[in-house]
Chain A
Amino acid sequence: MSYLKAVALSTVAVLATGASAQDYGSFSGVTVEAKLIGGEQYEGLYGRIADWEAATGAKVDIISKKSHFEIDKEIKSDMAAGTTSWCVGSNHSSFAAQYEGLYMDLKGHVPEDELAGFVGANVSASMVDGALVMLPRAQFDVSVMYYLKSNYEDAEKAAAFKAEYGYDLAPPTTWDQVKDQAIFFSDPPNFYGTQYAGKDEAIVGRFYELVVAEGGLYVDEDFKPVFNSEAGQRALQWFVDLYQAQAVPAGTLSYVWDELGQGFASGTVALNLDWPGWAGFFNDPTSSKVAGNVGLIVQPKGSVAHTGWSGHHGFSVTNKCPSPDAAVSLVRFLTGEESQLAESSGGSLPTRSAVWDANIASAEGFRAEALAVFAEGATHAFPVPPIAEWAESTNLVFPELQAAIVGDKTIKQALDDAADAVDELMREAGYY
C-alpha cells in the first residue's frame, strides 16, 4: 500500500471516531517561543506548525532545536540562569522529573475528554508529583525483539539446538531462551547472538527492565535503591554471561542506540531488543542488509514479568510563559489526533488510542506485523522510577555494571557499590 493511501485511510478512520479538527482558539499577534527536540524523526511534525499559525493567527518562534541531550543541557542552564520565559519545551517522560518547578500543570487547561483520548499509561507517565507536566506526542518507545528469520528456517540448526538445549528452536519468549539462543548462534568475530547497549543511561535502562522482569525494583517505596537484590543480581548475571560467552560483540560496552541499530542492520547479529523507530530502517533494502529477513516478537519475559522499559516524548509549557493559553493550544495541536496520525505515519508509535486503532487498521505487510507486536509490547510497558535523580543515578550505576561485565568486580560487589552511591545521592537529595 502506498504511503499516501495509508495516511488517507488512517485519517478516515480517525475522523470516523469523531475527532475532527478542533478549535484551537484565536491568538492574533501572539508569538510563542519554543525549544524543540531536533532530529530527522522529530522534524516532520513541526511542518504542521504552519497550520496552527494559520488557524489561530499566532506565530511560533523556534528559538532552539537540538538533540535530546543538548536541549536537556540547555534547559538546565536556563533554569540556572532564570531565563525560562520561553513557552513550549520538548520533554521526555524519563527526564521530566528533573525540571522541578519549570513546567506548568496542564490539568485544568486541557479538556477532560481530550485527555481521555490518550493511552492512560502515557498520561500517568507524564505526571510528576501529581502534576501533568507534559502532553505526549506520537513518539512512544518500548522495545520488542527483532530477529533474523533465516535462523529459524534451517532444519539442521533446529535439530542441533534441540539436541543441545532440549527444546525447540523458535523465536525466544523468555530471557533465558535469549541467552541460550544467543550463545548457540554466536560465531565471533563474524556473527553474534545478540548485543546490548553498554553505557550511559541506555545500559541502566536495560538493566532496570530486567530487574523488574525478575521481580525486583530499582528503588523501594522510600526511594531507597534496592536493585542490588537477588533479582538485580540475576538480571546482571544475564549481561555478564553473554559477554563472557562472547555471544555479544566485544565492543558492546561502547555501544548505544546507533551502533546497535547499525549492527543488526549489518546482518551480524541474530537477536536485537530495539525500539520502534528502527523497524522501517531494518526492513529497508537501501539501509539494511537484513531487509526481508526481519521478524519481530514481543519482548521476552524474565522469571516474573516481561521487560518493558518505556518512555515517550511530549511537550510542556513553562510557568513563566507570558502567553500560556496560546502555548497550551499549540501543545494540544501538536499532540492532537491529526498530528499524531501524521507523525506516526513515519513509523513512530502514537500515544492516542484512536490513532493506534487507525494505524493498525490501515497497515499491511511488515508494518502491520510490526505494529501488532508493538501494540502487544506496549501492554507490558512501564516507565522509569518517578524520581528527579533517575538520570543522575544512571551515571553512578553504569560504570559499576560495566565493571561486573568486564570482570573487574563480582556481580554482588558491583551492585552493592552502585547501590551505596545511589543511596548517598538520594540521602543528599533529602529523600530520607
Chain B
Amino acid sequence: MLRRRPPDWLTLLMPTIIVIAIIVLIPLIFSFYSSFTPYKLTRPSTLWRWVGTANYERILSDLNFWAAFGRTILFLTIALNLELLFGLGIALMVNKVTWGQRTLRTVLMFPMMFSPILVGFQFKFIFNDNVGLVNNALQSLGITDVALPWLVDSKLALFSIAFAEIWMSTSIFAILILAGLFAMPRDPLEAAKVDGCTPWQSFRHITLPFLMPFIFIAMTIRSLDVARAYDIVQIMTGGGPARRTELVWTLMARTGYVDARMGIANAMGYVSILLSIFFTIYFFRKLSAARAELGL
C-alpha cells in the first residue's frame, strides 16, 4: 500500500503556516472568543463565562466609543492629507536639489528614527502651556499675552497631536514619492515642454498620475498606522481632557490594560478593525485604478 504524503508545496509551507498559526492565528481566535466573555485580567475565571454578543451590544450603544471612533477617522483624514501635501512638496523640492541630495534624504528620515513615545514627550513639553517652548516664543515675540492651552482646548489639542504625528511621519510620504520621482521617465516631461505645457500642466497631467500608485501605497501604510495611533496621543493628552482627544486605541488600551476588562476591549478591537479594513480596501482599489490608468 502506498503511503500518502502531503504535496511538496505544503511540506515547504508548513513551517511558515505553523509560525503564523502560533503568532497570529491562535491569539486572534483567543481574543475573538474572549470578546464574547466578560473576561477580566484580574479574575481569570471570567474567561469561561459566555455572554454572547453583550460586549458588542454595549459598544454599539456607547456614545463615548462612537465619539472616539469618529474622532479617529477625523484624525486620520487630517493627518493623512496633510502628510501627503507636505510629503509631496518636500519630495518635489528634494528632487530639484543637485548637490548634497543624499545627505538631505538621510536628514529627511531623522524624525522616523525616534520612538513615538519620545516624540510624544518632546511635543508634550513643547506645547506645555506654562513652561513650553511654543507659548514662551509666542509671548516673547509679543504675538500673544495669554497662555494658549495647546493640550486642553478641543481644537488646539487635536491640532497638537496631529502636528506631532505629521512631524514624525511626513517623511514616509516624502521618501516614497521621491522614489516615484526617481523612477519616472523623463521623455513625457520633455515632450510636454516642447508642446508648450506650463509647469503646472506638466505636474497635473504627467507627474501626478505617475506618482499616484506611490501615493496610494504610502496612504495604505499610513492609514493602518494612524488608525492605531496610541503612543503619541497617550503621552501628550492621554485622550483628554474630557475625552476631547480620545481615539479608539487610547480608549481600548485603558479599558484592557488599566481597567483589566480585556473582554470588552477585544470587542472594541474587532469593531475598530473594520476601519482599517475599509481604508485598506479603499486605497488598494485606488491603487489598482491608478496603475490601470498608467497602463500597468
Q: In the assembled complex, which residues on chain A have CB atoms less than 8 Å from the CB atom of B101?
A: none
| Contact of B258 with A by CB under 8 A | yes
Q: In the assembled complex, which residues on chain B have CB atoms less than 8 Å from the CB atom of A16?
A: none
| Contact of A77 with B by CB under 8 A | yes
Contact A408 B242 (CB under 8 A): yes
Contact A250 B148 (CB under 8 A): yes
Give the segment of A38-46, A47-55, A251-259 that binds chain B: A251-259
Contact B237 A249 (CB under 8 A): no
- CA A263 – CA B258 in complex, angstroms? 27
Contact A250 B149 (CB under 8 A): yes
Contact B129 A249 (CB under 8 A): yes
Nearest CB in chain B: distance from A321 CB, A: 18
Contact B130 A76 (CB under 8 A): no
Q: In the assembled complex, which residues on chain A have CB atoms less than 8 Å from the CB atom of B147?
A: 188-189, 249-251
| Contact of B135 with A by CB under 8 A | yes
Q: In the assembled complex, which residues on chain A have CB atoms less than 8 Å from the CB atom of B148?
A: 250
Q: In the assembled complex, which residues on chain A have CB atoms less than 8 Å from the CB atom of B151?
A: 251, 254
| Contact of A357 with B by CB under 8 A | no
Nearest to B136 among chain A residues (CB) is: A189
- CA A251 – CA B241 in complex, angstroms? 10
| Contact of B18 with A by CB under 8 A | no
| Contact of A392 with B by CB under 8 A | yes
Interface flags for B8-50 (1: CB within 8 Å of A; 0: not) read 0000000000000000000000000000001001111000000
* Most chain A CB within a 10 A radius of its CB, from B43, B242, B243, B262: B242
Nearest CB in chain A: distance from B111 CB, A: 23
Q: In the assembled complex, which residues on chain A have CB atoms less than 8 Å from the CB atom of B150?
A: 251
| Contact of A99 with B by CB under 8 A | yes
- CA A251 – CA B153 in complex, angstroms? 9
Contact B243 A254 (CB under 8 A): no
- CA A80 – CA B129 in complex, angstroms? 40
- CA A291 – CA B3 in complex, angstroms? 85
Q: In the assembled complex, which residues on chain A have CB atoms less than 8 Å from the CB atom of B115?
A: none
Set B41, B236, B241, B254: member contacting A406, Cβ < 8 A: B241
* Most chain B CB within a 10 A radius of its CB, from A249, A250, A392: A250
Interface flags for A382-408 (1: CB within 8 Å of B; 0: not) read 000000100110010011101101101
Q: A253-B152, A399-B240 are in contact. Are A189 and B254 (CB under 8 A)?
A: no
| Contact of B293 with A by CB under 8 A | no
| Contact of B209 with A by CB under 8 A | no
Contact A98 B260 (CB under 8 A): yes
- CA A73 – CA B131 in complex, angstroms? 31
| Contact of A79 with B by CB under 8 A | yes
State which size class the interface on B falls in. 35 or more
- CA A413 – CA B152 in complex, angstroms? 21
* Most chain B CB within a 10 A radius of its CB, from A73, A76, A100: A76
Contacts of B239-273 to chain A: CB distance below 8 A: 240-243, 246, 254, 257-262
- CA A388 – CA B260 in complex, angstroms? 11
* Most chain B CB within a 10 A radius of its CB, from A199, A251, A405: A251
Q: In the assembled complex, which residues on chain B have CB atoms less than 8 Å from the CB atom of A400?
A: 242
| Contact of B194 with A by CB under 8 A | no
| Contact of A268 with B by CB under 8 A | yes
Contact A79 B41 (CB under 8 A): yes
- CA A188 – CA B38 in complex, angstroms? 48
Contact B41 A254 (CB under 8 A): no
Contact B240 A199 (CB under 8 A): yes
- The B interface is mostly helix, strand or loop, or mixed, namely loop
- The A interface is mostly helix, strand or loop, or mixed, namely helix
Nearest to B130 among chain A residues (CB) is: A249
- CA A50 – CA B145 in complex, angstroms? 56
Nearest to B238 among chain A residues (CB) is: A199
Interface flags for B110-149 (1: CB within 8 Å of A; 0: not) read 0000000000000010001111000100010000011111
Interface flags for B208-234 (1: CB within 8 Å of A; 0: not) read 000000000000000000000000000
Contact B257 A251 (CB under 8 A): no
Contact B241 A76 (CB under 8 A): no
Nearest CB in chain B: distance from A20 CB, A: 40
Q: In the assembled complex, which residues on chain A have CB atoms less than 8 Å from the CB atom of B131?
A: 262-263, 266, 268
Nearest to A254 among chain B residues (CB) is: B151
Q: In the assembled complex, which residues on chain B have CB atoms less than 8 Å from the CB atom of A98?
A: 42, 260
Q: In the assembled complex, which residues on chain B have CB atoms less than 8 Å from the CB atom of A403?
A: 242-243
Contact A76 B41 (CB under 8 A): yes
| Contact of A198 with B by CB under 8 A | yes
Contact B238 A76 (CB under 8 A): no
- CA A138 – CA B291 in complex, angstroms? 67
| Contact of A108 with B by CB under 8 A | no
| Contact of A200 with B by CB under 8 A | yes
- CA A198 – CA B130 in complex, angstroms? 14
Nearest CB in chain B: distance from A248 CB, A: 10
| Contact of A82 with B by CB under 8 A | yes
Nearest to B255 among chain A residues (CB) is: A395
Nearest CB in chain B: distance from A184 CB, A: 19
Set A80, A253, A398: member contacting B44, Cβ < 8 A: A80
| 13 A–B contacts, CB within 8 A, in A order | A79-B41, A100-B43, A198-B241, A199-B240, A249-B129, A249-B130, A249-B147, A253-B152, A254-B124, A263-B130, A263-B131, A399-B243, A399-B246
The list of the 8 closest CB pairs from A to B, nearest first, reads A189-B147, A251-B129, A250-B149, A253-B241, A402-B242, A403-B242, A402-B241, A80-B41
Residues in chain B within 8 A of chain A (CB atoms): 38, 41-44, 124, 128-131, 135, 139, 145-153, 236-238, 240-243, 246, 254, 257-262
Residues in chain A within 8 A of chain B (CB atoms): 69, 73, 76-77, 79-80, 82, 98-100, 188-189, 192, 198-200, 249-251, 253-254, 259, 262-263, 266, 268, 388, 391-392, 395, 398-400, 402-403, 405-406, 408, 428
Apart from A73-B257, A79-B42, 15 more pairs, CB < 8 Å: A76-B260, A80-B42, A198-B240, A250-B152, A251-B129, A254-B151, A254-B237, A263-B130, A266-B130, A266-B131, A388-B42, A402-B242, A403-B242, A406-B152, A406-B241
